[in-house]
């Protein structure tokens, strides 16, 4: 059901010569011809996580790391994996994010790579950057593998996350 305001707006747009359903900028094809589409720099596909399977990076050793059994539960596109265990739960995922502020994280080295760690309550997260690339708006985005350890003893969480990170880094594509 349309409101009186919606009816007034439609009447005004019709009076201005816009057909019903058209945007203020015309149809999509017209908008594309009037405004250029940005292009991204060609990226080296051999350094991306795009084809990586998060579960494959740790299976079959993950159960021993978390005190569980069986393979991990794969997330969307294989870009995440969750292992449950009696010692801890581990989630490994890939994502792109603007480079973080240094005050938010503690620096560490994981598998010979510069990384970061952050504790959030009962979670310790380790971030390992893979590559930095330009976003469509010209700002930087960094691809990370993130290892999150939930539960278990507080003193063990970040050590466990770093240990998982060591194994993951060994299986990653080359860094750029």
Q: What percent of the chain has pLDDT over 70?
A: 70
pLDDT in tens, 91-107: 999 988 887 776 778 99
Report the distance separating Cα 61 and Cα 22, nearest Å.
56
pLDDT at position 81: 93
Q: Is the Cα torsion angle 172, 48, 138, 24 positive or negative in sign?
A: negative
Taking residues 125-134, what's their average pLDDT? 89
Give the strand pairing for 89-97 and 80-83: antiparallel
78 against 36, higher pLDDT:
78
The structure tokens listed for 73 are 């539960």
Report the distance separating Cα 109 and Cα 115, nearest Å.
5
pLDDT in tens, 18-73: 555 555 545 666 666 676 665 555 556 666 776 788 998 887 777 788 888 778 89
Per DSSP (E only), the strands in 61-122 are 73-74, 80-83, 89-97, 106-110, 113-120
pLDDT above 80 for 90: yes
pLDDT above 80 for 16: no
pLDDT at position 12: 58
pLDDT at position 11: 55
pLDDT at position 2: 44
Residues sharing a CB contact under 8 Å with residue 61, sequence separation 6 or more, in sequence order: 167
pLDDT interval class at 1 (50, 70, 90): very low
């Amino acid at each position: 059901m349309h409101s009186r305001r919606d009816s007034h707006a439609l009447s005004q747009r019709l009076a201005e010569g816009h057909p019903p359903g058209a945007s203020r900028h015309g149809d999509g094809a017209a908008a594309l011809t009037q405004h250029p589409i940005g292009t991204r720099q060609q990226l080296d596909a051999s350094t991306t996580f795009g084809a990586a399977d998060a579960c494959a990076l740790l299976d079959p050793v993950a159960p021993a790391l978390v005190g569980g059994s069986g393979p991990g539960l794969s997330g969307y596109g294989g870009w995440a994996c969750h292992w449950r265990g009696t010692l801890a739960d581990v989630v490994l995922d890939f994502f792109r994010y603007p480079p973080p502020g240094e005050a938010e994280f503690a620096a560490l080295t994981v598998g010979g790579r510069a990384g970061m760690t952050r504790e959030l309550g009962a979670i310790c997260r380790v971030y390992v950057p893979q590559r930095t690339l330009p976003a469509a708006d010209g700002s930087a985005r960094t691809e990370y593998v993130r290892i999150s350890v939930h539960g278990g003893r507080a003193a063990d969480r970040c050590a466990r996350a770093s240990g998982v990170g060591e194994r993951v880094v060994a299986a990653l594509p080359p860094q750029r």
